A and B are shown apart, each in its own frame.
Chain A
């Protein structure tokens, strides 16, 4: 960490922001069906928030009891009996996002820049107000003179809430999940 010459004060610990308000919700019209086009728009919106580093807004897309999971094995059965590259219940996801804003997150000094392509979106199963969406993604991460490429399949459990969409769970299957990997800091 490069020390500033004249630190004005101790680095400010980011304050916790309200996390339950999905900001894009206002843009959605109540009563709209949870169809493919709408789900796809939602995923693109999510990818954009992540690429832009708007992690607080990204967190606001999740339900209060959501989980976020990146398994360590192909076809991993569950996140409890086997280790995971990332397995965050809602509480840990909040901590992860808060840390991303810390001025002392040395693994993000310098910050990563990412670029994601989300495609091949399909609805796997759907009910009245919830559905599971499968999508493919490619993510380029650039940091400190090197670039790496991630690819995989995401499964989002999306739920309707007050006319908006929230993520009840997100599972990300990386094609190279069992490769020896350098640290993963920016979420997929």
Chain B
């Protein structure tokens, strides 16, 4: 084990993590190489590129890439970089193209990134050949979709996507299965929110059942006091129900939610809505129509099975989180050690009533919205974590809640005996250490 691997391993201890993981720019640089440059990174959904030539620009870690469907219909992920002088080629967020052209000297590229033409193609040194596979908008080494969810890896070899996802494929299935027609598509726009803080704290908050009652107190109180007589077109009603539900007592969060973790840093939180309070409550007429459509297409038994999957946030380490019941998907983009951007998407369930997407949009506004009454307090916490961690007071941060009581799970993971166990943070840090040291550091130092 190299010196740096050994040093990284010393930053994680049973039930504790050193604050440097969140504040050290050198560690961040290493994360960009060893995690975002190697692990399977979610890059987008196939519904965003339905036709040949459809593309969108995004990033893997900090590297700009283009996700494109080529003329044969194959999904490609190529570096958004001209082979000539290195300029970013695709400058629009999304569109449809027959080829890509660099605006500097006019080098053009096929949709799969191969060089198509080089203007003034003379006088280069002997051996310069634009057909050289090392010259082009080069492909990211591995690209693989799981039922429409596109992942890419900067490493030429390593575990397959399905091995890496493991049991979490069931959370991706859950997103899709809820569509009566068995298909989903990105719809309803996108939120892009940002905060001055480390990317890991966002992920570590998504399964945190212990924070809503405290962090979200202002919106809980304001929602509890809200008169239901005031006019609503339906969207405010969904938001206010969600905020009230955040006010469930600690006893509820402790025992009735559930937290599950799986190898490679993945986790999911159980649902914390009982049916009478769930936004898609069973007595809601729109939801009843939706259930009827689901039953028509899938049969009663399968529809019941689908609706009984009760997961809240499913987190696929290191950069994507899903929420199937309201068709949400969040992607985390690290910008700097203390700056992070998150994109939040909604999906349309094909074959469901139009109002189901509208409910997802209303839900997105309150849970993932830049101006949300809830999220803004989370963003404040992420910034305070960054400011607080810059202090040398406590070098070690406590992630030990539930350490003594977590139990094995039937699918090869571990779950918290109580839903407020920090097992999901310890599990992410195990994955972090394995990726950062390429498996060299002794595993499970953080796990219970």
Contact = CB atoms under 8 A, between A and B. Distances in A.
Given A83-B190, A184-B376, A91 B230 contact: yes
B250 to A, nearest CB: 17
B226 A81 contact: no
Interface in A16-39: 16
B231 A64 contact: yes
B381 A81 contact: no
B321 to A, nearest CB: 16
A179 interface: yes
B232 A82 contact: no
A91 B376 contact: no
Interface stretch (B126-134, B138-146, B162-170, B364-372): B364-372
Contacts of B361: 80-83
Contacts of B193: 180-183
Interface string B190-204: 111111100000000
B380 A107 contact: yes
Nearest to B357: A81
A65 B189 contact: no
Contacts, number: 148
B215 A98 contact: no
Contact size range, A: 35 or more
B217 to A, nearest CB: 4
B340 to A, nearest CB: 9
B227 interface: yes
Given A86-B369, A98-B222, A92 B236 contact: yes
B365 A84 contact: yes
A95 B233 contact: no
A45 interface: no
Interface of B: 187-196, 215, 217-219, 221-223, 225-228, 230-237, 239-240, 243, 341, 344, 346, 357-358, 361, 364-365, 368-373, 375-377, 379-381
Q: Top 9 A-B pairs ranked by shortest CB distance?
A: A92-B236, A183-B376, A102-B218, A99-B222, A86-B371, A180-B192, A105-B218, A91-B236, A82-B189
20 contacts: A65-B231, A72-B190, A72-B370, A82-B188, A83-B189, A83-B191, A83-B344, A84-B369, A85-B371, A87-B235, A89-B233, A90-B236, A91-B227, A92-B235, A93-B236, A95-B226, A104-B221, A183-B371, A183-B380, A184-B376
